[in-house]
Amino acid sequence: MDTPQSAQAPSIPAVQTHQLTRRYGEMVALDQLDLTIQKGDLFGFIGSNGAGKTTTLRILSTFLAPSSGTANVLGHHVVQEADAVRHLIGYMPDFFGVYKDMEVTEYLDFFGACYRIPSNERENTVRDVLELVGLSEKKGSLIGALSRGMQQRIGLARVLIHDPQLLLLDEPASGLDPRARIEMMAILQELQKMGKTIIISSHILSELESLCNQVAIIERGQLIYSGPVQGVQGLEENKNVLWATIEGDVEKAAGFLKSRMEISEAEAVEGKLRITMASDKANVGVIAQTLVAHDIDLIGLKNHEMGLEDVFMQVTRGDTQ
């Protein structure tokens, strides 16, 4: 008999933690973290240095045991079923060592052997992961001769060698130039399309905003927000900031607006006016009144849309452990 749709068991999350805590002596690096990440998510993990991001990723990758609480990866307990978890994940720390005197294919073949991939399959596996990260033409190169960006991509190829379901990437774009960062993000998007679940911690919030479908903000080991990227904007509203498009000299217009007591700041930014009202109760009508009084046409006026960086700065204080 077919199981009714409503009676089917729910899908097992890619990651689920409950009251996850890690202490170092009296310092609490993680404080009762409850986190759920679904399969197929490209999940951005955001926080200042010392917020608990790396500690969380190290626990999920079985390198660090929690002080209390639980963490499960694809239904497997990270402590009690550590071996099973290691075969399901690919962990790329923020700083990882490479054997610079080894050729690229030799390096990847070594790690393929560590994961017990049969020798007659490793050549094809190495070829496939190099193609995926866009480095097929570098297969015979010494790793030490490659650029920082290429070495990062080789590091990503290494964690893909055993075809893991979950990728844990700690600052994968750290130290990369803009082109290398863009190339890395494109690879991650392709991996998500292939069905991989990806957790990425990064300080480059503008890139996470466009890359990820889910994010979490953490500070001093405590979860502040977890959910859709679009939901982050609902955490904080900034009704005091508006953008005005005008016909005329924006510098002069800014000077006229700043003379009004209802307006605390007005500045020209890339041909537009960024206006900060003195309070959320201030009458925004003074903007149009002031501009019209000085024969300046107001073409458009809209509220400032808060991005991930804006919200992060408002909901966190920069506190570290």
Q: What is the DSSP string of 98-126?
A: --TTSBHHHHHHHHHHHTT--HHHHHHHH
End-of-domain residue from the set 190, 211, 232: 232
pLDDT of residue 9: 55
Q: Do residues 162 and 278 both lie within one domain?
A: no
Q: Do residues 245 and 144 both lie within one domain?
A: no
Residue 276, beta-bridge partner list? 241, 265
Residue 175 within a domain: yes
pLDDT of residue 319: 56
Residue 6 within a domain: no
Q: Which domain covers residue 301, as residue numbers?
A: 241-305
Number of CB atoms found within 10 A of residue 315's CB: 14
pLDDT of residue 99: 82
CA 195 to chain centre: 18
Q: Do residues 173 and 28 both lie within one domain?
A: yes
Q: Do residues 222 and 246 both lie within one domain?
A: no
Long-range contacts of 291-298 (CB under 8 A, 24+ apart): 291/244, 291/246, 291/253, 291/256, 291/257, 293/256, 294/252, 294/253, 294/256, 295/248, 296/246, 296/247, 296/248, 296/249, 296/252, 296/253, 296/256, 297/246, 297/247, 297/248, 298/244, 298/245, 298/246
Tokens of 239: 């009704």
Are 143 and 99 in contact by the 8 Å Cβ rule? The answer is yes
Q: Do residues 69 and 213 both lie within one domain?
A: yes
Residue 128 within a domain: yes
Q: Do residues 199 and 149 both lie within one domain?
A: yes
3-class secondary structure, 200: strand
Residue 163 within a domain: yes
Q: Distance (Å, rounded) from C-alpha 290 to C-alpha 248?
A: 13
CATH of the domain at 295: 3.30.70.100
Are 143 and 103 in contact by the 8 Å Cβ rule? The answer is yes
End-of-domain residue from the set 232, 254, 279: 232
Q: Do residues 226 and 249 both lie within one domain?
A: no
Residue 318 within a domain: no
pLDDT tens over the chain, length 321 residues: 454 554 555 689 999 999 999 999 999 999 999 999 999 999 999 888 888 999 999 999 999 999 999 999 999 999 999 999 999 999 999 877 778 889 999 999 999 999 999 999 999 999 999 999 999 999 999 999 999 889 999 999 999 999 999 999 998 887 788 888 888 889 999 999 999 999 999 877 877 888 899 999 998 899 988 888 777 666 555 558 899 999 989 999 999 999 999 999 999 998 999 999 988 788 999 999 999 999 999 999 988 766 777 677 766 766 555
How many domains does the chain contain in total? 2
Residue 104 within a domain: yes
Q: Do residues 177 and 48 both lie within one domain?
A: yes
Q: Do residues 278 and 151 both lie within one domain?
A: no
Residue 2 within a domain: no
Are 161 and 115 in contact by the 8 Å Cβ rule? The answer is yes
End-of-domain residue from the set 232, 257, 283: 232
Q: Do residues 146 and 247 both lie within one domain?
A: no
Q: Is the pTM of this model over 0.75?
A: yes
Sheet holding 263-269, edge to edge: 263-269, 272-277, 241-247, 297-303
Q: Do residues 258 and 199 both lie within one domain?
A: no
Residue 290 within a domain: yes
Q: Do residues 248 and 131 both lie within one domain?
A: no
CATH of the domain at 66: 3.40.50.300
